[in-house]
């Protein structure tokens, strides 16, 4: 009996064939344990980011400057909850439980995006999050619509459509502000100054310091490296900043005709490391809020469980 005659090797060869043919892996297909683990890690982090990501903008719902702005912001934050639910459902197809993932989040055993550990100090931050944070999310997530794992790829299609709408609403809000009073324009610039570097950090560490990229690309989970996507974001954002009349706070940001791309400065990677290990400006506050909301929701989960048990008895 040769190695490939063994059932395990055959399954692995089948998986490799699907990946090489750029076809989708579905929940019932055999997959290597490390592939499953990587997907759970990434999808769970992504879901947690959407859920924690409701907090910075949610902070402004009660103080939106008009009914129209309040309705828009409410709808956006609600969309983020929906994205979190889709993504938890995609993770569940890999054999984990949503309850278990939430526990891991509130016990700091799983990460969420660094970007949501910064405070939203002014209303301009709502527009800048839409423009830069959703803009970065789109750059990062459009390629994930072609991810090799079917349920994640399909969830990303709808999520990206909504993120794109979010990005435009942020830009529209900023356009209104930069065409308003000098104070409003200054508010936008001050907000851009605070959010620019954290937005670049959303793409993850530089390629040389990214332990997961190579394997995730070989498996077709990631389609581009962190630095490739960061570059794409910079190139996409510079003309938008010019149209808004704001300056991006990087003295090294300049068009490089040879590369046909912008050169830009180095983000402060020590700040990034501090933020992803729990020492960012609002890490403790974000997690405490999430923990409190989870505990306050215990009675809803209990009631839902009791109702489901009763239904089972009725149909038995
Ligand atoms: C690119 C990356 C984030 C990281 O690449 P990988 O290959 O996975 O890792 P890599 O080896 O490069 O890194 C080494 C370590 O560093 C961790 N780390 C890296 N970067 C970050 C970071 N920025 N924050 C925190 N941690 C980060 C990484 O997990 C790993 O640690 P681990 O080994 O796990 O302990 C990838 O996971 C991805 O594309 N995820 C899907 C997209 C996604 O999650 N989007 C969410 C935001 S968008 C949104 O929510 C929409 C929205 C907008 C507005 C309002 C509300 C909502």
Q: Assess: ipTM above 0.90.
A: yes
> Is 212's C-beta closer than 6 angstroms to any atom of ligand 1?
yes
Q: CB neighbours (10 Å) of residue 100?
A: 11
Residue of the nearest CA to atom 4 in ligand 1?
204
Q: Are strands 261-263 and 254-256 parallel, antiparallel or unpaired?
A: antiparallel
**Sign of CA pseudo-dihedral 201, 203, 204, 205:** negative
> Is 199's C-beta closer than 6 angstroms to any atom of ligand 1?
no
DSSP per position, 121-173: -STHHHHHIIIIIHHHHHHHHGGGGG-SBHHHHHHHHHHHHHHHHHHHHHHHH
CA–CA separation, 74 vs 114, rounded Å? 23
CA–CA separation, 226 vs 246, rounded Å? 26
> Is 225's C-beta closer than 6 angstroms to any atom of ligand 1?
no
> Is 51's C-beta closer than 6 angstroms to any atom of ligand 1?
no
pTM higher than the cut 0.90: yes
Distance 110 CA to ligand 1 centre (A): 11
> Is 24's C-beta closer than 6 angstroms to any atom of ligand 1?
no
Contacts of 107 (CB under 8 A, 6+ apart): none
> Ligand 1 pocket: which of 133, 204, 220 to mutate (most atoms <8 Å of CB)?
204
> Is 226's C-beta closer than 6 angstroms to any atom of ligand 1?
yes
Residue-level pLDDT, tens digit, the chain, 316 residues: 444 456 689 999 999 999 999 999 999 999 999 999 999 999 999 999 999 999 999 999 999 999 999 999 999 999 999 999 999 999 999 999 999 999 999 999 999 999 999 999 999 999 999 999 999 999 999 999 999 999 999 999 999 999 999 999 999 999 999 999 999 999 999 999 999 999 999 999 999 999 999 999 999 999 999 999 999 999 999 999 999 999 999 999 999 999 999 999 999 999 999 999 999 999 999 999 999 999 999 999 999 999 999 999 998 7
> Is 230's C-beta closer than 6 angstroms to any atom of ligand 1?
no
């Amino acid at each position: 009996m040769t190695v490939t005659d063994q059932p395990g090797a055959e399954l692995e060869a089948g998986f490799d064939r699907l990946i090489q043919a750029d076809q989708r892996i579905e929940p019932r297909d055999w997959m290597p344990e490390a592939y499953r683990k990587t997907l759970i890690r990434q999808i769970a982090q992504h879901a947690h980011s959407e859920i924690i990501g409701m907090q910075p903008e949610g902070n402004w719902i009660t103080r939106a400057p008009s009914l129209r702005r309040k309705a828009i912001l409410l709808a956006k934050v609600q969309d983020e909850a929906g994205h979190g639910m889709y993504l938890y459902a995609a993770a569940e197809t890999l054999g984990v439980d949503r309850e278990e993932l939430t526990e891991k989040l509130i016990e700091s055993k799983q990460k969420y995006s660094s970007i949501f550990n910064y405070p939203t100090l002014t209303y301009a931050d709502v527009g800048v999050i839409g423009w830069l944070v959703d803009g970065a999310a789109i750059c990062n997530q459009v390629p994930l619509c072609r991810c090799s794992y079917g349920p994640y790829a399909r969830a990303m299609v709808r999520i990206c459509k909504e993120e794109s709408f979010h990005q435009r609403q942020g830009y529209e809000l900023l356009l209104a502000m930069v065409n308003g009073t000098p104070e409003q324009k200054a508010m936008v610039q001050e907000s851009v100054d605070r959010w620019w570097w954290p937005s670049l950090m959303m793409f993850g560490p530089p390629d040389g310091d990214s332990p997961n990229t190579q394997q995730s690309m070989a498996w077709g989970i990631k389609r581009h490296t962190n630095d490739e996507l960061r570059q794409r974001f910079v190139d996409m954002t510079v003309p938008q900043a010019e149209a808004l009349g704001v300056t991006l706070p990087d003295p090294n940001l300049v068009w490089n005709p040879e590369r046909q791309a912008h050169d830009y400065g180095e983000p402060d990677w020590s700040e990034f490391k501090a933020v992803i290990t729990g020492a960012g400006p609002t890490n403790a506050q974000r997690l405490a809020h999430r923990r409190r909301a989870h505990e306050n929701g215990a009675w809803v989960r209990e009631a839902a469980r009791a109702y489901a048990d009763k239904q089972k008895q009725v149909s038995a």
